Structure 1
Amino acid sequence: MEETTAVPAEGDAAACERAPSFARLFARRTAIIAGLSALAVTQPLLGLFGDNATFFVAGRYTAAQIVVFALVVAFVPTLVGGVLVAISAAANRRIGTVVFVALAAMLATAFALAMLRSAEIDSTWLVLPLAAAFAGIVAVGIVRSR
């Protein structure tokens, strides 16, 4: 009996060559998560606390504590999202993609809600569909940009 080696079909070899490495994929996805979390979490929170400095005065926080607070608000959402996406992608690349797109859509929804609130659009019947549509557009854009 002859032993045969499996040769990937021409399309499979091309797909393997086009597939980005795990490190490159992780860096790209983390950059997207960082941008979205900056828009959805960091900017609104720091804007809120920056406009209400009495919070820090009443709590008698030191300058170092305020800086640590700002750094935590800036970096923790990105780190948590990046770790979540990395762990899921390490387990299974497709699951990692699903987790990444879901996280990006969630952050896009939060960003849309913050923007609609700053535009003083308060109608639930208008806000929810607009935020969902924005999240859908972001998710489709991410999936198609591969």
Structure 2
Amino acid sequence: FDEADITDLETLRTKLKDGAAERGIKLTPLAFIVRACVKALKAFPTFNASLDTAGANLVLKKYVHIGFAADTPNGLMVPVLRDADRQDVYEVARQLGELSGAARAGKLTAAQMQGGSFTISSLGGIGGTAFTPIINAPEVAILGVSRSSY
């Protein structure tokens, strides 16, 4: 388990959040984490992959579809943010908000929860400082992040 100093990230988020709010977008730390994951997945493409149905071969993805864990009244859901590599932080934040809202309302479609190439599990909303996230098969990696403090 590692800790990351997100002071600079939080400074940037604070600087940008009012402008985002004027556009109806809630700019959360998760949007920046998604963008950082996109850059990391581009640099290390074997993490942007899945196992084939036999579990014997790695299938590298040409797209970056990021799943994210959303706590809902009906349990944990994992909506998928499609083509995250083609979106700026504002569009990522907008879609995170829309997908989270649909998940909480019980209105996610099966298609909105399929096709992820990497997942982020965040305890930010409920707290905690360490946990072991479970990889969302057939993906090969997951990132677990806890509540931020700065």
Question: Structure 2 length as normaliser, TM-score?
Answer: 0.27
Larger relative strand fraction:
2
Question: Structure 1 length as normaliser, TM-score?
Answer: 0.27
Larger relative helix fraction:
1
